[in-house]
Amino acid sequence: MTNLIVVDDRERWPGEIAGARVVDALTYLTAEEFSRGRGLRVFNLCASYRYQQYGYYVSLLATARGQRPLPDVATMQDLKTRTLPRLASDDLDAIIQRSLHTLESDEFTLSVYFGRNVARRHERLARALFNLFPAPLIRASFRRRDAKWLLENVRAVPVGEIPESHRDFLLESIEAHFARRRPSRRREIPGGYDLAVLVNADEASPPSDAQGLRRITRAARRAGFNVELIGRDDFGRLAEFDALFIRETTSVNHHTYRFARRAELEGLVVIDDPISIIRCTNKVYLAEMMRRLGVPTPKTLIVSRKNAAAIAEGLGFPCVLKQPDSSFSAGVTRADDPAELDAALKAMFEKSDLVVAQAFLLTDFDWRIGVLDRQPLYACRYYMVERHWQIYRRSNTGRVSSGRWDTMPVDDVPAEVTDIALRAANAIGNGLYGVDVKQTGKRCYVIEVNDNPSLDGGVEDAVLGDQLYDRVMAVFLARVEARKRGRTNG
């Protein structure tokens, strides 16, 4: 049993929970079986989280034991601060306005049970609040001022305050929460670590296709992980896991970054880590870093509205313009003459004050060197789409086509390609990266470093097969175990 519900009085608990064991707080705090229960997920439903009371110690000792409490002590403290509403994001504000706009009263209280509310129309708001303030039972207070709803307070709710009419819904919500962790009927690995894989089923060009995700899942299980594919609505559950593997295209101003940052704060091993996301998803940063380190790139200018005139003289035509946060060739434009240059810059400056301009290098393919933990992992050649200058082409309807590819053993790649890729990737960090390199003769140029490289079934793994995913999971496992040892020894 890996799910443990801790309450003040076991005898007064309203019923059994499928997939969980219910114990009283004193038993949890003193019984030997729980002090050594690595991998337990502890759902703390004690009546009070006040400092040095039972509820406080349940979450505190769960953390000390290497278990995963909900809420943790940091969340308990957050829920006490008077500045809490300032943590609310713009996304949450939009959800608040949509959920409450039909109410006639100027005050409203919302009870959230494991991310759910008894009224279906408030379901999305309840989930958003749980994601921001991950505690099993919370109550949020809202007030309307000047025709706008404001979040005034969020607090933890003891079980004793839950109305009798809500008790059945509470039990249903707890069971639904546990059910979300078991999308398949595979038996969990007893005592294994827990890995979350963040995906987006609706993404047009995900970094891992369905076959790649299946291979990731199988490799994780071989390494001893319990695996769950999660989505953006699972933000509040991150503390339940030991590691997070982001397999959704990342961006700083995006929930993927918030997942990475929260996971890091919760002590999870995370790839992509938030620093790598910040560095790799902005081409202005990459251009400046490459210049400082002396890593060869195509001739590059970082331009604003004031110095944009220097592009034509400094780079000539054709030249390539890049939106700083572009990915998968989106936001990358080639200008063949001054008119195309002006039009492209006008559109890009509406989104960013800076744009990256580079000299155009004509090649039949781009190298992609996968780098993991500062070592080369795989090597691919991505060829340009026929009668196009990029490896991807997007139609006006949004349809994406790609060129052919081939994968080869890393040892067969020219040394100058591998060396320059490692120099670039290792300047970012020790995560998983895909370095794009153009080669003209013996000269190599780094185009960019991607923090979220493709791992598609039958493509990047065409040489190594399952070994590629096993290597990724070996890094996850080593880092999780190192972190657990550090927590124990610290």
Please check whether residue 246 is in contact with residue 203, taking contact to mean a CB–CB distance below 8 angstroms.
no
Does 83 have pLDDT greater than 60?
no
One-letter amino acid at 451 equals D
Q: For residues 50 and 388, what is the distance between their CA atoms, to the nearest angstrom?
A: 64
Q: Report the C-alpha gap between 290 and 425 in whole angstroms.
A: 10
Q: Give the start-to-end residue ranges of the domains of the chain.
A: 3-74, 84-178, 180-279+473-489, 299-359
The Cβ of residue 36 has, within 10 Å, a number of other Cβ atoms equal to 10
With respect to CATH, is domain 299-359 assigned 3.30.1490.20?
A: yes
Q: What digits encode the pLDDT tens for the residues 139-155?
A: 999 999 998 999 988 88
pTM of the predicted model, to two decimals? Answer: 0.74
Could you give the CA distance from residue 187 to residue 180 in angstroms, rounded to a whole number? 15
pLDDT(131) > 90:
no
Which pLDDT score is estimated for 280?
A: 92
Band the pLDDT of 490: cuts 50, 70, 90.
Answer: very low
Looking at residue 400, what is its pLDDT? 67
The tens digit of pLDDT for each residue in 108-130 reads 999 999 999 999 899 999 998 99
Residue 17, class by beta-carbon neighbours within 10 Å (0-12 exposed, 13-18 middle, 19+ buried)? middle
Contact (CB, 8 A) for 373 and 475 = yes
pLDDT at 330 over 90: no
Specify the higher pLDDT residue, 377 or 135: 377
Across 90-94, 227-231, 308-312, the highest mean pLDDT is recorded for 227-231
- Identify residue 364 by its one-letter amino acid code: D
Smallest Cα–Cα separation from 131: which of 23, 236, 251?
Answer: 236
377: Cα within 13 Å, side-chain hemisphere: 29
Asked whether 3 and 226 are in contact (CB, 8 A), the reply is no
DSSP output for 283-302: HHHHHHHHHHHT---S-EEE
**How would you list the strands of the sheet with 330-335, edge to edge?**
300-303, 355-359, 319-327, 330-335
Task: Find where tokens 């294994």 sit.
Answer: 192
Is 406:380 a contact under the CB 8 Å cutoff? Answer: yes
CATH number of this structure's domain 84-178, picked from the four choices 3.30.720, 3.30.470, 2.60.40, 3.10.20: 3.30.470
In the CATH hierarchy, which top-level class contains the domain 3-74? Answer: alpha beta
Choose which CATH entry (3.40.190.10, 3.40.50.20, 1.20.1250.20, 3.40.50.720) describes domain 180-279+473-489.
Answer: 3.40.50.20
pLDDT, tens only, 361-398: 988 899 999 999 999 999 999 998 777 777 766 666 65
Q: What is each CA distance from 78 to 71, 133, 135, 140, 257, in whole angstroms?
A: 10, 8, 11, 14, 21
- Sorting pLDDT into bands at 50, 70 and 90, what band is 12? confident
